[in-house]
């Protein structure tokens, strides 16, 4: 299991800010990429063995792990 670390920088550059999160979303208009590193709720809340990656493009949603995403990208 690995930590989900989100790094960001302002529109004018400057200092990079870093956060460790359980879930992160990057939105570009209606399209988005989400990475979810935890599952469950309450007492069942736990870190996933592998993070889930959701990609939404033109209203269609795709679900990957890093391994399955790499396989899809290597096909091209």
Residue 36 contacts residue 52 (beta carbons within 8 Å): yes
- Interior/surface letters 7-29, b for 16+ CB within 10 angstroms, e for the rest: eeeeeeeeeeeeeeeeebeeeee
Helix (H, G, I), strand (E, B) or coil at 17: strand
At 76 the pLDDT is 66
Residues 15-46: pLDDT tens digits?
999 999 889 999 999 999 999 999 999 999 99
- State which residues form the domain around 22: 4-75
Dihedral (Cα; 69, 67, 38, 30), 10-degree rounding:
0
0.85 exceeded by pTM: no
Q: How many domains, in total, are found in the chain?
A: 1
Question: What's the rounded mean pLDDT across residues 3-8?
Answer: 91
């Amino acid at each position: 299991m690995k930590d989900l670390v989100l790094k960001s920088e302002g529109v004018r550059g400057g200092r990079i800010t870093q956060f460790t999160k359980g879930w992160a979303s990057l939105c570009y208009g209606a399209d988005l990429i989400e990475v979810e590193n935890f599952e469950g709720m309450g007492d069942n809340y736990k870190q996933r063995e592998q993070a889930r990656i959701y990609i939404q493009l033109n209203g269609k949603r795709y679900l990957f792990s890093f391994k399955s995403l790499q396989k899809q990208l290597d096909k091209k």
